[in-house]
Amino acid sequence: MTGERNGHSATVAGPLAGYLVVDLSRALAGPHAAMMLGDLGARVVKLEQPGTGDESRTWGPPFVGERDSTYFLACNRNKESVVLDLKSAQDRDTLDALVARADVLIENFRPGVLDRLGFGTEELRVLNPGLVVLSISGFGHDGPERARPGYDQIAQGEAGLMSLTGPPDRPMRVGVPIGDLLAGIYGAFGVVAALAERERTGEGRMVRTSLLSGIVGAHAFQGTRATVAGEVPSGSGNHHPTIAPYGAFQCADGYVQVAVGNEGQWRVFASAVGLDPDDERFAGNADRLANHDLLVDAVERAWSDLTRDACLERLTELGVPSGRVRTLDEVYAWAQTRSQGLLLELTHRTAGPITLPGPAVRMEDLHERNVLRREHLPPPTLGEHTGRVLEWLSDPTADRRCAVPADFTST
């Protein structure tokens, strides 16, 4: 791609520069996928319903600016907001025009809703044979429970994740909406694969995923414990279920995390906490798991008079992987976080200067220069770009690829 497709100027960097994404989704899974594509350089037009817009705008407090929630800010950077009423024939025509020019359409309605609005798979194919459609649902687009609404915590429970999290006797949700996030990540991955395929075939593709699929796809070794070994895993608190010592240990002023991943590290660690590495109770990983409570107690007694800093300094000297448990304010103040470009300083239309957690992916050329977009759009206010986008669509003299510049923000 040259960077000029669909109106992106050549200064907008990233492998998806020049691609147009129409984002019909709301809440988190779909918006997160669309934001990832925007971070990679795509132009993302977010379509919202009149009056309220994406319901996540109201998911607060806290709120900023004209009552947009910080929840909304977390998943809608690098987008333009256009208000459309899809029950209106005129606004459906506008969507027709956008779909005809788009590379990607993202939606997370319940299965069947888009068909009832007149934008089913066949209709979309007629409008744009090369369109890649990402469709995200709660529990899948077919099967006996296809019609269930998708909410993250419900999916965390239904997909078994809560049974693996927290102490053994009390299922616990993950502290972020991980089902939504995983579905968005897998969805964006599927979109990029479909776009690569389209370069060869010229044809679009329907990409489907769900909160259920995202969580089950991330079961990892816990899944094979169940499917291969026939075990039913349960929560193991702040300690690893199959490796020891691997977890959070209390010291005089808080917790220190330790990850002893092999027997060489065990021998070094054991000596550091006053244990005999050849003690038959702890000699092998299976022994340490069988006597885990004894091991935790021995380590925490050895560290009861030591501060976190003292423990971490000693573990670092010994080459034992370790770390502290940080609060989010500590994470965002951490020099290492900032060195990775994980914070963006932007100016929101009504809230003014804001700081957002940034993209998790970096791309560099052979000279270690950033090749991703250098100008990030702040999350839009409701309908902020409606006029400009409609003007572009209605101008008969405009090139069909011409669009709002990627660095455009309202004043």
Active site residues: 180
**Cβ neighbour number for residue 349 with a 10 Å cutoff:** 16
Q: Are the C-beta atoms of residues 173 and 153 closer than 8 Å to each other?
A: yes
Rounded CA-CA distance 231/229 in Å is 6
Residue 174, Cβ density class (10 Å: 0-12 exposed, 13-18 middle, ≥19 buried): middle
Task: Report residue 149 CA to chain centroid gap.
Answer: 20
Q: Cα torsion at 331, 333, 334, 335 (round to 10°)? A: 150
What is the edge-to-edge ordering of all strands in the sheet holding 80-83?
Answer: 80-83, 43-48, 20-23, 104-107, 132-137, 205-210
Cβ count within 10 A of residue 83:
18
Which string of b and e fits 185-214 if b means at least 16 CB within 10 Å?
bbbbebbbebbeebeeeeebbbbbbbbbbb
- What CA–CA distances, in Å, run from 7 to 158, 312, 314, 396? 43, 52, 56, 16
DSSP-based three-state secondary structure for 391: helix
Distance CA 233, CA 247 (A): 17
